[in-house]
Amino acid sequence: MDAGSVAASGTLYVVATPLGHLGDLTARAREVLCGVPIVAAEDTRHTRKLLTHIGATPRLLSFHAHSPPTRVGQILEALRAGSDVALVSDAGTPGISDPGASLVRTVRNAGLPVVPIPGASAVAAALSAAGLPADRFLFLGFLPRKGAERRRLIERATTEEWTTVIFEAPPRLPALLTELAAVAEPDRRAVVCRELTKVHEEIREGSLAELADHYAATPPRGEITVLLDGTGKERKPPLDFDALRSEAQALLGEGLSRRSVVGRLTESSGAPRNEIYRLVMELR
């Protein structure tokens, strides 16, 4: 694509919108939303209320996780024709726990300009008010509802050196807190941020066990962000059990007793002795 065609193309603006309080919309975001001819929105009904509030009248296109592939093509066509497009999610910054990233990547790969319009973010807002260390943090978004991947991420969150941020749906919050408490220490500190910037905003701190009990007895509502305090310790890389088995087999082949092999591998790997004992005892 030559310089002239790029200059004539439209721009995709990635616009952060309020989490709840409409006063949090930035002046620049207002200017963009009032000026673009097209807004691609996660939920057009939700976004229409915001646009009406600021007096903006763009054409609305729905763009969400279940949009047909033709919708991306439609947006690309509009941009190539010279129309600016604003991408918004229901709340906060697009591209974080929503399908916005796929559209941005496609637009960038097409050689078309993408401009961020920063503003509200549930992650940043929760971290700023939680009082947990936030110089570094791990963001996991929404966890899978079940299965091996959920167990892996729960284990990752509970062993992470730094603060971990998780999004959760209200009905599943007590179960998430209970799982975290079962894998980590029940007294691990955590913060639940609910309905940030809205009328019923709540920021509740406590141990995982305390928070699990509270929300089991008081079912939560609204948008929820969970922050889990880090361990403060460097996270150890996962053990390579295949390599440990090979080493154990070689040591046994050299004539060492199983007890000696367990002691040597426990010392060299730093793994819990019971895990190494089980590994060595399973060898034939």
pTM: 0.79
pLDDT, position 191: 98
For residue 136, the 8-state DSSP code is S
**What is residue 232's predicted lDDT score, i.e. its pLDDT?**
86
The reported pLDDT for the residue numbered 3 is 44
Alpha helix (H) ranges present in the chain? Answer: 3-8, 27-35, 44-54, 69-80, 100-109, 122-130, 148-159, 173-183, 208-217, 241-253, 258-269, 273-281
- Give Cα 79 distance to the centre of its chain: 29
Give the per-residue pLDDT at 268.
85
The low-confidence residues of the chain, meaning pLDDT below 50, are: 1-6
Residue-level pLDDT at 98: 84
Condensed to tens digits (0 to 9), the pLDDT of residues 56-70 reads 999 999 999 899 989
The 10s digit of each residue's pLDDT in 254-277 is 989 999 999 999 888 877 788 888
* Domains assigned to the chain: 3-120 (3.40.1010.10), 123-228 (3.30.950.10), 241-281 (no CATH)
Q: Which two tokens stand for residue 139?
A: 């963001």
Of 220, 223, 141, 209, residue with least CA distance to 178: 209
Using alpha carbons, select from 78, 82, 115 the residue that is nearest to residue 8: 82
- The per-residue pLDDT for 7 is 52
CA pair distance 253, 139, nearest whole angstrom: 45
